[in-house]
Amino acid sequence: MTPPRTPQIPVVVLAGFLGSGKTTLLNHLLRNRAGTRIGVIVNDFGAIEIDAMTVSGQVGSTVSLGNGCLCCAVDASELDTFLETLTRPSARLDVIVIEASGLAEPQELVRMLLASDNPHILYGGLVEVVDAAEFGRTRQRHPEIDRHLAVADLVVLNKTDRVGEAERERLRAAVAELSGPAAVISAVHGRIDPELLFDPALRPDHEDKVRQLTFEDLLREEAPGGHEGHDDHLHASYESVDFTSDIPMDPRRFMEFLDSRPDGLYRIKGFVDFGTGDRDNTYALHAVGRFLRFVPRPWARGEQRLTQLVMIGAGIDAAALSAGLAACRADGADRADETGRADAADVERAMWGVLRYVQEQAPEPEVFDAHETADPREAAAEA
């Protein structure tokens, strides 16, 4: 049986103009990480303040935030270097978040990620944070915000507690018009459900090398009562739809479904069985915004052949999505078994649409000699 491969690490770009609440949202993710090890790259210069800790220094500094979470201050030209550092096996990170400078061009960071030769990363989406109370004035000072919203995968309309209900709905409609198919969710103090951006690793704390007072603990202590009072209601901002089928999916119909996925559908993740399209492999699906990738993996011996998908978004029609996926299931002729009733050439042609988005698995992680001289940045990752 083929040994398991190291999964690629999603890289999320967190953007927004000065004062929109990017750092507050990032702190919220860190205190609600549920065992997930987060690497933070700050695309800015000088002193970087992140709530309880101030990372002072020049571009290129790396600081451990505790429990494997890291913070790096980088210039865009050094992005690949730090991604290489953070994706080393010794860092054991589950997700990387790039907090872009308030005056950065987020699409440039996205372009760099998509063009990166690093096989260990996977684009995790562009999240644009918008200050609801200052949106009009921000557009006057920075008209380029329209361009930023147009390329966003998820828009967080933050600080909605500072505007009335009617104004909030007007702003939501205006932002949705500018951001097109992107999901738009409202938030207060940057509180969004981390599962919108990444899957919780649920790693117990005792797995960390040293258990001491951590950055996460400090943040929890700062919150009234030791926790965020409204976190129980974060799920109200979005919807999650599960789909499971023991009938293989027709590749042509499934790709038509993906090509026409509705506005507001932010993430799709899971595994797809294409039946006669590829009997040897299941296809891991990763879709975020407009980004789409399939990664084939051999079926394990005795593994039940299922399609299992989770769809996450805001303002989506759960029943319509479930019905749309159900309609993608292969009918009797398409599901021809080894007797070969299905036209093999037609099935092969139907798979072409899938194969256009296939990305090979990342190579096996390098094996490091425990006695070789450690890179100082790697040492920070292991701290």
Say if residue 60's pLDDT is above 90.
no
Lowest mean pLDDT segment, chosen from 72-76, 248-252, 291-295? 72-76
Tell me the residue length of the chain: 383
Q: Residue 353: pLDDT band by 50, 70, 90 thresholds?
A: very high
Whether 185 contacts 20, CB under 8 Å: no
Average pLDDT over the chain, rounded to an integer: 77
Among positive and negative, which fits the CA dihedral 329, 332, 335, 341? negative
d(CA 63, CA 56): 10
pLDDT recorded at residue 195: 86
Q: What is the pLDDT of residues 129-158, one digit of tens each?
A: 999 999 999 999 999 999 999 999 999 999
**Alpha-helical runs (H) found in the chain:** 22-31, 79-86, 106-115, 135-141, 145-150, 165-179, 215-222, 251-259, 318-326, 344-355, 376-382
Give the predicted TM-score (pTM) of the model: 0.77
